[in-house]
Structure 1
């Protein structure tokens, strides 16, 4: 497990670096660009973005949406192609879930992913996400994590 993974606020000092991060070409169908995610975070009041840092360098991004007082939907989760397969994403998701568990009244975290993505289902299942079936547009798999009531 890599050390020095942190989640940090997105601000004027890191948004350009975050916008430049990329995934591999074969992953582009699975995740929107960071530029689009940052625009959503800036203009949709229910959205929150966090930069993923490794050794004081921005290497990824989360975007989530407060769907209700009890449910958060993770809309985006990406790690730059040069920093994948090092355990950074696993540690970052663990940090995000720790942060979300501290949110008063939050009982559910959901995530959608392309069912053609061979790594997504086992990765999210390892955190306790359970597949619920296809989303309302029948495009992505919906998975849900139940949080204990605090």
Structure 2
């Protein structure tokens, strides 16, 4: 399986808007269209299409400035429901961590998610993110030190 990231551009943005989560997952995340629009008004956000075998299979977005907890935040990461269970999300998250590690003074990555989102919990725990007890509204925040 070959997974790669490509910045959102005129060639892939529409495909990303058509990606779907499972019904259970959809309640935890904004649509990709909203996220892509957000990047136009918050220029510090970087959005990427996740490609698997040269097909758009997912979407992710992170901030390029440090925020709460003194870390760079992951805003979105999703894999289309038809491509889930193949390791694409895990590999894309590894690639994203590599991109974020290039940011100035990158020593901490933070991601927030709803505590009931078991898939997110398993993914981030498997990649070394730890729960230090931080909560923001209805989300918990986990941290990876790099």
Partner residue in 1 for 2:19: 21
Runs of 4+ in structure 1 off by over 3 angstroms are none
Tell me the matched-pair count: 144
Question: Structure 1: how far apart are the matches of 2:136 and 2:88?
Answer: 31
TM-score by length of 2: 0.92
Question: Structure 1: how far apart are the matches of 2:111 and 2:93?
Answer: 12
Question: Structure 1: how far apart are the matches of 2:46 and 2:61?
Answer: 6
1:134 Cα deviation after fit: 4.4
Structure 1 residues without counterparts, runs of 5 or longer: none
TM-score by length of 1: 0.90
Partner residue in 1 for 2:33: 35
Partner residue in 1 for 2:51: 53
Q: Which has the higher helix share?
A: 2
Question: Structure 1: how far apart are the matches of 2:22 and 2:122?
Answer: 20
Partner residue in 2 for 1:112: 112
Cα RMSD for the two superposed structures = 1.5
SS in 2 for 1:86: coil
Question: Structure 1: how far apart are the matches of 2:12 and 2:72?
Answer: 24
